[in-house]
Structure 1
Amino acid sequence: MFKRIGLFLATNLAVMVLLGIVLSVLQGVFGVTLGNNGVLLVMAALFGFGGSLVSLLMSKWMAKRGTGAQVIKQPRNEAEQWLLATVGRQAAAAGIKMPEVAIYDAPEINAFATGPSRNNSLVAVSTGLLQQMDRNEAEAVLGHEVSHVANGDMVTMALIQGVLNTFVIVLARLVGRVIDSYLSGNREGGPGFGYYIIVFVLDMVFGLFASMIAMWFSRHREFRADAGGASLAGRDKMVAALQRLSLNHGVNTLPKQVAAFGISGAIGHGLKRLLMSHPPLEERIAALRQMPDTIRTAA
């Protein structure tokens, strides 16, 4: 929890420092008046954080609605009993409250975790996972998802996305005002028509770079969740589970709002990889095999 707060404050501080430098240079060196920057920053933060925080608060509801996931309230068979027992045991070991456990209909091997907090979460598995994985592999996948919850990844992703959204909104308008003022030869007047076109283009360009940053963090947290799954279920089981995921051949039917939280993601190479939420399976397996032998089997 404190690490997430620290990351949030440090990122916001970095944005504020950079924004202050940009404003000082533009106003002090170039003499460009940018209007009420406090209002701009407040509005950018409202828009930037508003969407990501609302999505976070509604994440469980949207995931259930988007995937058709059915929460297991009363186990109907042995498989559902095993799912509840396994998630309950892992949640206790990870120090979090029992998540809701659900099953959704999808042909590929996949699972995801979401929710507004560590103690208010959902772990869901696909019917394809139940049909194509043995219990050892499925246990490792559940450990991976429980680790996402324990690591607070949903909250951290929402905060990072909010900071990035704010940064994009502010920077696009500051740079847009500078470009417009020089193109029009008017440094003191209001923005011209070209300003809105410039800002639209800059929103897309800066937004692309912001997405790269968000996806870099997403790939980083997958390695952490793999390590958590190995700790909860055993390294060999986690490796076997990732090897089994290769049967998906890059298929992922999860809706966009939860796709980044699935254990299986789309395959990307070259520049496309910069926008992928998951690292290649071979890299994840290699990272697990480099872990200490002390977690080869779960405690």
Structure 2
Amino acid sequence: MFKRLSLFILTNVLVLTMIMIILSLLGVNNYIGTDGNIMFGQLLVFSAVIGFTGSFFSLAISRWMAKKLMGVKVINPDSPNSSYERDLVERVHRLSRAAGLTVMPEVGLYNSPEVNAFATGPSKRRSLVAVSSGLLESMDDDAVEGVLAHEVAHIANGDMVTMTLLQGVINTFVVFLSRIAAWAVAQLVDEDKAAIVHLISIFVFQIAFSILGSIVVMAYSRYREFHADRGGADLAGKDKMIHALESLRAHVNRVDTRQESLATMKINGGKKKMLFSTHPDLDERIRRLHAK
């Protein structure tokens, strides 16, 4: 999921910036009245339009972006190139049917030594499950089954749409608060410098508030990972889901985490980095599944 969320956030930031530039050129962002004060109602509407448009557009192109940026090769379910591919498609489709999905996800492979898999797409009916070659080479069948079940659970849970709504709210507040803060700073300088100070301050505060907002997004992402673990356990079996997480933990212990061990369902980066991690600590995930 780390790949999925990272691609979504990156796309969201780029789209958000593009929309703001377009609206600024069109003069739609005029939220300061003739008296020099902010019109808060107009600013809030402006912020919401930018925030939710950016996040939903990012969601709409998420599957396409994943394929292009990561070189995912989608397997044709009617004519796979090998029994290896056929088995992968059949596993994902079997788990998807068990999860109640009526339209099967696309199944893709990408060539990378990293141990990773992710699910993405704008809806349950237009989703993608992608798996790295490194994962298939590093894990046994039961662990792969657990990983695939976890990713299918993300689709069945509608996590991408949920994250999109949350990102839209965060975007709205980032745009709204950054402009209020920038306006306040501009009031402290001479009138001839106010415009440039206001513009620069918008970008500075937007970056700062975006970082703070990402903490909220990451925290909610960690919560959804626990939920997907439980869903994966229901689909593939509790033992296979635990085995998948234990295999990931063993992989972390074998490799230098500064390299490509970003991991299936994201390897945790240690307790100190947990605030900005999309995934919870693996030991805690395993403990919760044992207690399930």
The TM-score range, normalised by the shorter chain, is 0.7 to 0.9
Q: Report the AA paired with residue 267 of structure 1.
A: G
SS at match of 2:37: coil
Q: Is the 8 A contact 1:34 1:174 kept in 2?
A: no
- Counterpart residue identity of residue 284, structure 1: R
Q: Which residue of 145, 150, 157 corresponds with 1:139?
A: 145
- Aligned partner of residue 125 in structure 1, secondary structure: strand
Q: What amino acid sits opposite 2:277 in the alignment? A: M
- Tell me the CA shift for residue 202 of structure 1: 2.0
5+ long unaligned stretches in structure 2: 1-34
Q: Distance in 2 between matches of 1:56 and 1:115?
A: 7
Tell me, yes or no, if the aligned pair for 1:147 and 1:229 is still in contact at 8 Å. yes
Tell me which residue corresponds to 2:120: 114
- Letter of the 2:98 partner, please give it: A
Distance 2:108 2:82 in 1: 14
Corresponding residue number in structure 2 for 1:295: none
1:7-22 paired onto structure 2 within 5 Å: none
Aligned to 1:94: 99
Give the letter aligned to residue 76 of structure 1.
N
Q: What fraction of aligned residue pairs are identical, expressed as a percent?
A: 46
Kept in 2: contact 1:108–1:251 (CA 8 A)? no
Segment drifting more, 80-89 vs 233-242:
80-89
Residue identity matched to 2:197? G
CA shift digits 1:234-257 (9 cap, x unpaired):
111111111111314436759xxx
Gapped runs of 5+ residues in structure 1? Answer: 1-31, 292-299
Count of matched residue positions in the alignment of Structure 1 and Structure 2: 251
Tell me the TM-score normalised to structure 1 length: 0.76
Q: TM-score, normalised by structure 2?
A: 0.78
- Are 1:64 and 1:70, in contact at CA under 8 Å, matched by a contact in 2? yes
Q: Is the Cα contact below 8 Å between 2:117 and 2:265 reproduced in 1?
A: yes
Tell me whether 1:174 sits opposite 2:180 in the alignment: yes
Choose 221-230 or 239-248, whichever is displaced more. Answer: 239-248
More moved, 38-47 vs 70-79 = 38-47
Summarize deviations over 1:150-184 as a string: whole Å, max 9, x none: 11111111111111011011011123323433x24
| Counterpart residue type for residue 88 of structure 2 | L
Q: Distance in 1 between matches of 2:221 and 2:70?
A: 21
RMSD in angstroms over aligned alpha carbons?
2.5
Instruction: Show the 5 A alignment for 1:45-194.
Output: 45-73=48-76, 74-96=79-101, 97-181=103-187, 183-184=188-189, 191-194=194-197
C-alpha distance in 1 between matches for 2:130 and 2:259: 14
